[in-house]
Amino acid sequence: MVEVTVTPQSSLADRPVQIRVRGLSPSQLVTLRAWLKDEQGERFQSRAFFRADGAGEVDPGLHAALGGSYSGVWPMGLLWFLQPDTLFRRLVKRDVAGSPFRVRLEVFQGLSLGVEPKERLLASCEAERWYAGPGVQRVPVREGRVRGALFLPP
């Protein structure tokens, strides 16, 4: 049985996570896809092609992506290379303290090139990426022409 995991499942957006796929056949070719929807409902996604190692595992921190949104060894590549489905959109988090981005990770059989994969889904999981830790207080700043926010730790 194929399984994809993100460790830790819930983390701050600037913290590294480990993505692993287990249960594949040795040397099996797969596509890992990450996607999320922003607060306006716009989808951002990335994908990378991998060949499983002899144990039937894929770890983007150890194994080089063969292509897709990036190539080479990038432990966080699936999160760093998220691109919008609609041109000229930017990934912006407005409600930084109230809710996380929920990133969906999926593993597909073979090479999946389209926006909507037609290949067989082997496994999926979800990770939360928070922009403020628990207890962080957001204080709006308005002084003259200066606008911003001050984030105070607990």
3-state SS, residue 32: strand
Ordered domains of the chain (ranges, CATH): 3-152 (2.60.40.2240)
> Among the ranges 56-65, 107-116, 133-142, which has the highest mean pLDDT value?
56-65
CA–CA separation, 135 vs 118, rounded Å? 43
**Max Cα separation, the chain?**
63
pLDDT class for 118, splitting at 50, 70, 90? Answer: confident
Tell me the pTM: 0.88
Query: Residues 9, 129: contact at Cβ < 8 Å?
Result: no
Rounded to 5°, the CA angle 120-77-34 comes to 35
Render pLDDT for 23-80 as a digit per residue (tens, 0 to 9): 999 999 999 999 999 999 999 999 999 999 999 999 999 999 999 999 999 999 999 9
Residue 61 to residues 7, 9, 20, 44, Cα–Cα distance (Å): 12, 16, 9, 22
